Chains A and B, each alone.
Chain A
């Protein structure tokens, strides 16, 4: 499991490879907060290479979304597979985040 970060235009894109769970959520949080501190405002997390997410992982997404919004920025999500979509629907987090089917659509939406 790992997180890779790259810049596409004005958007910081984070790929979550593997699981987003209690054991690694802090690593994701810190990486995104570091970028926020550098002044970045637009964030996209791409889940195309993600297995499953637990409640801690979902919690980190909620927390990051709040922190980014407080700084005048925005966090968007892309490429949820069917299982992840179900997870977001069960927890109603699909109503809290702007979620796109593809990375391209998400990038265009900013």
Chain B
């Protein structure tokens, strides 16, 4: 089994203003690890930003005083981001809309999970001391 290590493990206030800072930290770590430039500039920032905003706005229902935990775990083969909120969780398959259909294309909302799944190799949601959304991106 590939060795893994925690690149960062943060608790942030449940506030969208903190998203950009976390995403920048993730990008910086990924650049240091020589992850491909496209993954550093598109896949990781957009998918992580979506997971964090989902956690803050939906999981924690934009309630002040709550926290979101975000961890990055790196191994030789993949990058894993885990975002934990206080919400009840959700079924990734059931909640993903195809935002490219004629009916959904002109809607303002509903692209978050779709983008996470397009930009990551795996997206999972499960319960473990909160609702965890785990994003996995293969390094190669």
Residues on A facing B (Cβ under 8 Å): 1, 19, 21-23, 51-56, 58-60, 62-63, 66, 82-83, 86-87, 90-93, 95-96
Contacts and interface: CB of A to CB of B under 8 A. Distances in A.
Contacts of B109: 55, 59
Interface residues of B, number: 27
B42 A87 contact: yes
Interface of B: 16-17, 19-20, 38, 41-42, 45-46, 49-50, 53, 57, 99-100, 105-112, 114-115, 118-119
A103 B107 CA distance: 27
A91 B107 CA distance: 11
Given A54-B53, A66-B106, A23 B46 contact: no
Interface centre among A1, A66, A87 (most CB of B within 10 A): A87
18 contacts: A21-B16, A23-B16, A54-B112, A55-B110, A55-B111, A55-B114, A56-B112, A59-B111, A66-B106, A83-B41, A86-B42, A87-B115, A90-B115, A90-B119, A91-B99, A91-B111, A92-B99, A92-B105
Contacts of A66: 106
